[in-house]
Chains A and B, each alone.
Chain A
Amino acid sequence: MPEPLVVMKDVNKHYGDMQALKQINMTVGKGEVVVLIGPSGSGKSTLIRTINRLETITDGTITIDGVLLPEEGAGLAKLRSDVGMVFQSFNLFAHKTILENVTLGPIKVRGMKKADADAKAMELLKRVGVDHQANKYPAQLSGGQQQRVAIARALAMEPKVMLFDEPTSALDPEMINEVLDVMIQLAKSGMTMVVVTHEMGFARKAANRVVFLADGQIVEENTPEEFFTNPQSDRAKDFLGKILTH
């Protein structure tokens, strides 16, 4: 078992009377790639968003690299800078160029010099294959390109862990693979990743572990191969039956 990086202990989350997360206990080791899977409304997006506190929790603890997630203020901002996040809807800064999107964090948060940040950003943009678009605005790029820029923006902070919240769900089918390829490369390079996705191909190729959620609870955890071929719980069997028959 690798050294634990993200540790969630007895985490509960309520929205009024509705309990979105129930007694979540989950550990993500350094260099591990964990895929969160489950029916819609199962709480997987909520769960991944609690890891950098875009969602608050009702009780329980979340630590990242041994540090308890601060509730607010400069401490929280500092911790978030070590946790990369990629959103379903890309969320690139609409008024900034592609290059500025990637350099904003390094310059403002890390205090890097603009020239250094630019050089590093170009390197990252090249790695994800959008370096030719560096001076364009997000709206001028395709969804797949925007999402690759979003990955580069997160990587520019040199995060300890990367969170992906349904990164391919808003993409046209022909663009899904270009994003998944970047993610697979990233997984192979040893990045710690937590990924909410329905892409079985990605889970099989890149994940160490699949965590299956239903109704806000972790129902099953297993290796991708075991989970997809031999699910244990009825909920998982039912879910996989619905998505794999097509």
Chain B
Amino acid sequence: MLDILTRYDILGAFWMTIQLSFWAALGSLALGTILAIMRVSPVAVLQKLGALYVNVARNTPLTLILVFCVLGAFYILQLSLAPASAPLRTQIFLWAIVGLSLYHAAFVCEALRSGVNTVPVGQAEAARAIGLTFTQSLSQVILPQAFRGAIAPLGSVLIALIKNTTVASIIGSQEASAMMKTIVENETGSLLVFFIFALGFVILTLPIGVGFTEMSRRLAVKR
């Protein structure tokens, strides 16, 4: 029974999960930060655009977003993220990162916005009073404190993102859950198989939960 461990590259599949998670985490953090800035900016149009994006992305099933990325954007609209000579799995890998980033950016934005709400209004006033511009106030004073206030909710978003990479299997990404499906089809649906993959995800996510809780405690802004 345990020979499936040697006959299938399970570690390789989890490595794909880690890569997807890592790049999608970076992508969603970048886009989510921009969205959060839009939503707290004094410009009404930007606020509305940010809110619209968050509500659309957050309320669309991730499956739909990923299918749209591959079927809609890649096959129908012929949008390619890699040179035409690149193998299909590279295209799918990149589109999976894009889809995961687009979706989770909405949650990152809301986590950051809750972080911004932990920063007292006096901090922004003091920043403006010494002559910092809006961008400088954000980057020097508001966001550093907002990130610290948002560490715990950002950790939850990251954990959800790691588990949501399993959805990418439906567009053909060869990550952990796709590997599990293959093993179940070819071999057996024994509890052991589920247990191995469940354990794999626990190993990935549990330390993140513990780490983020510890970080949020250690980096908390003392007021």
Contacts and interface: CB of A to CB of B under 8 A. Distances in A.
Q: Do A and B come from one complex?
A: yes
Interface stretch (B87-95, B106-114, B126-134, B196-204): B126-134
Contacts, number: 72
Bin chain B's interface residue count: 20 to 34
Contact of B132 (A79, A83, A95, A108): A108
A2 to B, nearest CB: 25
Contacts of B122: 87, 89, 91
B140 interface: yes
A137 interface: yes
Interface of B is mostly: helix
Contacts of A95: 144-145, 148, 221
B219 to A, nearest CB: 9
A93 B141 contact: yes
Contact of B130 (A94, A137, A140, A154): A154
B7 interface: no
A95 B131 CA distance: 19
Interface in B107-164: 120, 122-123, 125-133, 136, 140-141, 144-145, 148
Contact of A87 (B125, B140, B222): B125
A37 to B, nearest CB: 22
Bin chain A's interface residue count: 20 to 34
Given A87-B122, A139-B222, A139-B223, A93 B133 contact: no
A105 B132 contact: yes
B130 A153 contact: yes
B132 to A, nearest CB: 6
B126 A137 contact: no
Given A89-B122, A104-B140, A108-B136, A94 B221 contact: yes
A104 B145 contact: no
Given A104-B140, A108-B140, A139-B223, A94 B123 contact: yes
Interface centre among B120, B131, B132 (most CB of A within 10 A): B131
State the 3 A-B residue pairs at the shortest beta-carbon distance, nearest first: A81-B131, A139-B222, A105-B130
Given A77-B131, A80-B128, 11 more contacts: A74-B133, A80-B130, A85-B126, A85-B129, A89-B122, A94-B222, A95-B148, A105-B130, A108-B140, A109-B132, A139-B222
